[in-house]
């Protein structure tokens, strides 16, 4: 079977696929046209929960994207207060996932989870800047392994307009590796990364990125922030 027809499914998705399949069977029993709609939705559900393998660059110092999707405007912002990282603004790289993107999230840089914090909130469109402040979120504070000077990074899963469930599989004190899967958000959402001070992003707003593969920053580089334009 071609690999694009046999993508692995995230374990969180099987119950939803089973539910959609059951509803599809009922719809076919009621009326064939309704069953066809249900079948299409079941296929979409399986597609949504796909969990493809990724080739992660393993050179130390690289920060990779935690999510598939579109890079939103890059701004300086204070990390979530619940992470207790102070009031200094840090460069925030936000990745918006639409309903057709892979929603499995990955660790951006090797280190250790020193704090995990959940905060309930609203469910406005995750592409809006205010979503970082007001929406339901789960935030991680990572102590990074790179360099002699201690560095930290904030990673925030944010629910969106349709999303109603944030899944995070890592706990405080756990060591994590670049590109490692750590959670999923259902359905449509965003992930924010607050880079360590002095680090410039290597992606631009409007760029599409892949979780675990696209390098969004390099702690060993002095390259300035990259501008981007549509061509």
Residues with active-site annotation: 189
Distance, CA of 62 to CA of 108 (rounded, Å): 8
In 10 A of CB 24, how many CB atoms?
21
Tokens of 89: 């603004």
Separation of alpha carbons 205 and 177, rounded Å: 26
* Gap between the Cα atoms of 113 and 219, Å rounded: 19
Dihedral sign for Cα atoms in the order 63, 68, 71, 75? negative
CB 65 within 8 Å of CB 56:
no
Calpha distance 25→30 (Å, rounded): 9
Q: Phi/psi at 124 (nearest 5 deg)?
A: -80, 170
Helix axis angle for 32-48 and 14-30, nearest 10°, is 170
């Amino acid at each position: 079977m071609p690999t694009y027809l046999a993508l692995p499914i995230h374990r969180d998705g099987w119950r939803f696929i089973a539910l959609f399949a059951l509803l599809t069977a009922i719809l076919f029993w009621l009326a064939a046209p309704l069953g066809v709609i249900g079948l299409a939705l079941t296929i979409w559900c399986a597609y949504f929960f796909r969990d493809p393998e990724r080739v992660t660059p393993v050179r130390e110092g690289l920060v990779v994207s935690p999510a598939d999707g579109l890079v939103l405007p890059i701004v300086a912002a204070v990390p979530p207060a619940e992470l207790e990282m102070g009031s200094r603004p840090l460069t925030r790289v936000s990745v918006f996932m639409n309903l057709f993107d892979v929603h499995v999230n990955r660790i951006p840089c090797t280190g250790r989870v020193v704090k995990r914090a959940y905060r309930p909130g609203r469910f406005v469109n995750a592409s809006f800047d205010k979503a970082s402040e007001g929406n339901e979120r789960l935030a991680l504070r990572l102590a990074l392994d790179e360099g002699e000077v201690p560095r930290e990074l904030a990673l925030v899963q944010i629910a969106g307009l349709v999303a109603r469930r944030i899944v995070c599989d890592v706990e405080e004190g756990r060591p994590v590796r670049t590109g490692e899967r750590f959670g999923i958000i259902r359905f449509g959402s965003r992930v924010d990364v607050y880079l360590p001070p002095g680090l410039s992003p290597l992606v631009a707003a409007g760029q599409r990125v892949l979780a675990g593969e696209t390098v969004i920053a390099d702690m060993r580089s002095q390259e300035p922030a990259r501008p981007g334009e549509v061509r």
